[in-house]
Amino acid sequence: MSIQLTNIIVYSLVIVCDLIGVCATIFLFGIMLLRRSLIKTDKVSYLLTANNYIAFLVGSPLFIDMFINSIYGQLYSNSSFDGEQCRVKSYALYICGCAYFYSFLLQALYRLCRIVYPTRVRLQSFHGFVMLSVAQWILAASMLLPSFLLGDMKYLPDDYHCQFAPTDVRGSLIGLSVLFLVPFLSTLICYFYTMHHVRTRTTALPAINQNLSIRRDLIILSRLFFLFTFLTAVGVPHLLIPIVYAMTGYLSSWVVPFEWLLTLFSLAATCIVQIFMSPHVKKLLDRPVQGHKLVSEPGVASPLSTSKSPSRGDVASSFI
């Protein structure tokens, strides 16, 4: 099988992955529209989830345009899409990617405020997080602007699109560190600090509740493991490939297509995983409760309860 045919197949799979992610996004937004009354119960959580999916949805047409050009170029090798428009589209795509990763940081910050500082209402303000959601796009554009002005987003003649060139080690590592590494590590720190706070509170629980606490911690950790596994798969290949090139001085012609295949597969998987692993999103899939029967779920206080402290179950469900 020729390298051109291999690249065409890989780029076609990349487009399929992108479209799967788009379908998952449209499905989520459709459910949110149908269950608007439920969204009012936790507006900030749904706002930040929508913010995350919007970043993917805005970047999706740019992905498709880029990979269609790549397929066309593989079919007609004399083609060229070089030019300022190519670099501007690449810049816009990386802005979407940066906003996507910072949207996870906003979710982590909200959960930290909700669990560590439950009485500080201002830190959980809906309008505050609306402003932060807008600010993340401005921040993303500002942080990536130097890379764009310095010409770090280059046209790859063998792949027929613009991106951080794997052979430009300096430009790739600086740009992708801003885009991925900074928000990713910040998100990890927020979750680890929140988890530490939860574990500190757990030590004060009676021994009879220890097994339940351990079980919930395992659920939290498993959710975080799946989430960060897919997020790592989105960004790490783009950071590792320039390092490999710096060490070996060689990159195979199939590296860039497979790099994007892993990225889009992970993005699509993250879109799907969040729907079925985030408690507040899973509620949208539940059947509406008929009648006025009060049902007390494990770890969730009944409306008739006089206790005002958040339960351990509430804390656990606030994580993802």
Structure-derived torsion over alpha carbons of residues 126, 131, 137, 143, reported in degrees to the nearest 10: -120
Domain edges within the chain: 3-285+307-317
pLDDT tens-digit readout, 35-90? 888 888 788 989 999 999 999 999 999 999 999 999 999 999 888 899 999 999 99
What class has domain 3-285+307-317? mainly alpha
Q: How many CB atoms lie within 10 A of CB 118?
A: 15
Query: What is the model's pLDDT at position 79?
Result: 87
Using pLDDT thresholds of 50, 70 and 90, give the confidence band for residue 220: low
pLDDT tens-digit readout, 266-307? 999 999 988 888 888 888 887 765 544 444 444 444 333 333
What is the mean pLDDT of the segment spanning 204-226? 60
Query: What is the model's pLDDT at position 296?
Result: 41
Query: What is the model's pLDDT at position 298?
Result: 41
pLDDT tens-digit readout, 9-30? 999 999 999 999 999 999 999 9
Query: What is the model's pLDDT at position 203?
Result: 58
pLDDT tens-digit readout, 184-202? 999 989 888 888 877 776 5
DSSP string computed for 79-118: ----SHHHHHHHHHHHHHHHHHHHHHHHHHHHHHHHHHST
Task: Tell me if 79 sits within 8 A of 160, measured CB to CB.
Answer: yes
Which amino acid makes up residue 251? Answer: L
- CA 54 – CA 50 distance, rounded (Å): 6
Q: Is the pLDDT of residue 250 over 70?
A: yes
